[in-house]
Chain A
């Protein structure tokens, strides 16, 4: 069967668009589903004959009102933000100097040490949450957000140190050399020269740390028991899931509000994140 080149091009294009459309539907559908459910009237949600893909009745804001006024959702958002900010600060204070030291000051074994630190990021919570639950209890931090503040840097520091190490390595050493010849100390050059030009890298680390905190589930589920102390990623699945149909609207509104805005911000930085993940396998 001989197809004309034009027909081939059109066919290839259609296949390309079709592939992308199918994948996009698969990945984004749950979020569309959250959005439309959040605005559907309960009577519409409950009627099995209604076409579920569209609004069969005017949109309602009732679910969102219920979510913010009758549940602890706003509380959970606040808890998450509070933990997030403190963990970001701890991570920056520890990972920025560590990343720089690995990039410039530790010489040959810096590379090995960097890889070792990165590998600790891969130790999953599944292996550690049981002993840590006991440690947290012994410290008297059970059911306190401080338990999360203490534990979360254990996975944000390794990854951020690794990312920052790559970032600092990409800065030409001549800049600091010049400053040091002019009488700056190594530390002075780091603070005055390197940090100001690394703002983009530091911002990346801030965003990642925050999203990692927002996504974390296992530790929060293990350490926290009071409803009012939950973070959003645990509060919503454990306390808003009633198996009760009347609640799906608010539940979906909560999921959408807590996931999509942060996803948009994260999206701007995702390439750097991947660069960290792929280490030396891509040159």
Chain B
């Protein structure tokens, strides 16, 4: 990683004094080349972020012309509400359960995909589909699959004799079923990403290690638990990290499938922030709700930085 940098330095020293002012201008050239991108990000990510902090301690609404400082009133008033408590709980259930399932399934699927077989390209494409297709559109496919009157799942269960015609499930209309459905769709959506990340990890384990283990007579499970999983750990953390960020902050699946219903049983912080801030026009309270996600992201960023640093040292 450091090698190319040294070569540049050496090459530049060889060219000596002629380069003295060029190096100076290179510094400026670098700043000039990266400046516009940083400015754009600062204006459209940094500035709105601080605006969000500011809004959360104000009384701004969609229609208001001026805003007043109200301290932590928004936060204290939200925390007490039933729908906020429900959303906070749902966010954690939704994200944690889907992440655990995704990780287990992705591990199994990555091991299956790692082997060579005919038609691998096609299988991989079909498995990647949920991730590469626009999520809101894929979710509509599920809306139809889970339809209360025409659900294909109900049809199949009935055809197999497992339920009666009058016993069809209202997948999105009953609290626990709705949560289960939303989690299942989220697993569907995030499984491909976690799988390909783990595949990249599997591919990076040197074959010698596998060979050595085989020579030493390690069986499948022992090999998996003592060799593959420990070596995959850093990349598994990366997979979980991205998965968690997507799961904690996503509102698309919920917006399309249930809009938070029935009775807020699938409402999460992201969707609640949308309904409060945009649809009801209470920007201040919406911003405050969204900010509850921030500590989480901060934690994710710290983990990410640690991994990046470790990789640099190694």
Question: Which of chain A's residues have a CB closer than 8 A to the CB of B34?
Answer: 97-98, 101-102, 105-106, 113
A36, chain B: closest CB distance, angstroms:
10
* Contacts of A247-283 to chain B: CB distance below 8 A: 248, 251-252, 254-255, 258-260, 262-264, 266-267, 270-271, 274-275, 277-283
Quick check: is B216 within 8 A (CB to CB) of the other chain? no
Q: Quick check: B197 and A274 within 8 Å, CB to CB?
A: yes
* CB closest residue in chain A, given B235: A281
A237, chain B: closest CB distance, angstroms:
5
* Contacts of A96-137 to chain B: CB distance below 8 A: 97-98, 100-102, 104-107, 111, 113, 115, 117, 119-120, 122-135
Quick check: is A201 within 8 A (CB to CB) of the other chain? no
Query: At the interface with chain A, which of B22-30, B92-100, B175-183?
Result: B22-30
Q: Which of A30, A107, A134, A161 contacts B5 (CB 8 A)?
A: A107
A29, chain B: closest CB distance, angstroms:
8
Quick check: is B141 within 8 A (CB to CB) of the other chain? yes
* Contacts of B98-154 to chain A: CB distance below 8 A: 105, 108-109, 112-113, 115, 117, 123-130, 132-145, 147, 149-150, 152
Quick check: is A234 within 8 A (CB to CB) of the other chain? yes
Question: Which of chain B's residues have a CB closer than 8 A to the CB of A48?
Answer: 149-150, 155
* Contacts of A47-79 to chain B: CB distance below 8 A: 48, 52-53
CA distance A270 to B152 in the complex (A): 31
Quick check: is B173 within 8 A (CB to CB) of the other chain? no
Q: Quick check: B52 and A278 within 8 Å, CB to CB?
A: no
Q: Quick check: A124 and B150 within 8 Å, CB to CB?
A: no
Number of A-B residue pairs with CB-CB distance less than 8 Å in the complex they form: 316
Quick check: is A193 within 8 A (CB to CB) of the other chain? no
Q: Which of A97, A124, A130, A154 contacts B293 (CB 8 A)?
A: A124
Query: At the interface with chain A, which of B81-89, B207-215, B221-229, B300-308?
Result: B300-308
CA distance A120 to B141 in the complex (A): 31
B156, chain A: closest CB distance, angstroms:
8
Q: Quick check: B297 and A279 within 8 Å, CB to CB?
A: no
5 residue pairs, one from A and one from B, having the closest CB atoms: A280-B311, A105-B30, A30-B141, A259-B133, A131-B51
**A and B contact pairs by CB, cutoff 8 A, 29 listed:** A27-B128, A27-B129, A52-B155, A94-B37, A94-B40, A95-B37, A104-B8, A124-B270, A126-B290, A128-B45, A128-B48, A129-B278, A130-B290, A132-B44, A134-B60, A174-B7, A186-B26, A251-B144, A252-B141, A252-B144, A258-B134, A260-B129, A267-B128, A267-B132, A270-B128, A280-B308, A281-B234, A282-B200, A282-B201
B residues bordering A, Cβ < 8 Å?
A: 4-5, 7-8, 11, 15, 22, 25-27, 29-31, 33-34, 36-38, 40-41, 44-49, 51-52, 55, 60, 62, 105, 108-109, 112-113, 115, 117, 123-130, 132-145, 147, 149-150, 152, 155, 188, 191-193, 196-197, 200-201, 203-204, 234-235, 237-238, 242, 245, 249-252, 255-256, 269-270, 273-274, 277-278, 283, 286-287, 290-291, 293-294, 297, 300-301, 304-305, 307-308, 310-312, 314
